[in-house]
Amino acid sequence: MLECAAVSRWFGGLQALKGIDLHIHRGEIFGLVGPNGSGKTTLVNAITGFYPPQQGEIRYRGERISGLKPHRIARKGVARTFQNVALFRGLSVLDNILLGRHLFMRPSILGAAFYWWWAEREEVAHRVRVEEVIDLLQLESVRDEPVDVIPLGMQKRVELARALCAEPGFLVLDEPMAGMNQEEKEYMVRFILDARDAMGTTMLLIEHHMDVVTAICNRAVVLNNGEKIAEGPTREAINDPTVVAAYIGRVKDAA
């Protein structure tokens, strides 16, 4: 589904990514973990087009996407959520989720002029899709609430819903559990699995909560200082002595 081949990225004299190779299979949840500053978000920004790699290549469904603008990558079926909640304050939950359909909307002067005969059918079709996602993520009770007043865990769910409304083939989840309590984390895990099963979406999950990563990720890759230090089945990758040393400082401290 997605392949990164020798991806490298510099910021001035700092090399944030050093020849990263990885491949993600269709339908799996793939974990991307590592200490702070290891290059996780830089890799995600390279995949989604915000900071294209200066060396290497990224392919989505066999097609090269490295170097494309973010909106063109999004149109090909790559969506993301953000580490810090990026919702539109002042709008309702429903309006925020509807924005996920903008890729499919084709506004025009004629459509606006003949709304009842032309644009209304398109709007209704988009609303039907949005309502399906609202039901899937159990957001009915807050659908008309301003997004500012709902809890953080619910805001993260709204952001997931907005991304799913873009009908992505590949979805990047950048620390979706950040700031959540245990109950909220358990809800989010269930909704991520439900979304994967219902929509067949392949996912790349960046997360610091290792219990979440080991619970839902099929495989994982671990970065440290811009380098890949482990890859494989999730528990094996996380328990690799090199990974333990990167997090704790000395392997023997893991005991």
For 221, the domain range is 1-77+168-255
pLDDT, tens digit, 9 for 90 and up, residues 18-55: 999 999 999 899 999 888 888 888 999 999 988 888 99
Residue 83 belongs to a domain: no
Q: What is the mean pLDDT of the chain?
A: 84
Question: By the 8 A CB rule, do 102 and 194 touch?
Answer: no
Same domain, 181 and 159: no
Residue 82 belongs to a domain: no
Q: Characterize the bridge pairing of strands 29-33 and 202-206.
A: parallel
SS3 11: strand
Same domain, 174 and 243: yes
Residue 243 belongs to a domain: yes
Last residue of a domain, one of 120, 149, 167: 167
What is the pLDDT, as a whole number, of residue 104?
A: 61
pLDDT, tens digit, 9 for 90 and up, residues 66-113: 888 998 998 898 988 887 777 888 889 888 888 887 766 665 565 555
Q: Which two tokens stand for residue 14?
A: 């700092």
User: How many structural domains compose the chain?
Assistant: 2
Res. 180 pLDDT band, cuts 50 70 90? confident
What is the pLDDT, as a whole number, of residue 109?
A: 60
Same domain, 173 and 255: yes
Long-range interactions of 66-75: CB distance < 8 A, separation 24+: 66/7, 73/47, 73/48, 73/49, 74/48, 74/103, 74/166, 75/103
Q: Count of alpha carbons within 13 Å of 233, Cβ hemisphere only?
A: 2
Q: Does the pLDDT value for residue 200 go beyond 80?
A: yes
Alpha-carbon distance of 56 to 49, in angstroms, equals 14
Same domain, 108 and 179: no
Q: How far is CA 167 from the centre of its chain?
A: 13
pTM: 0.82
pLDDT, tens digit, 9 for 90 and up, residues 131-147: 888 888 888 888 888 98
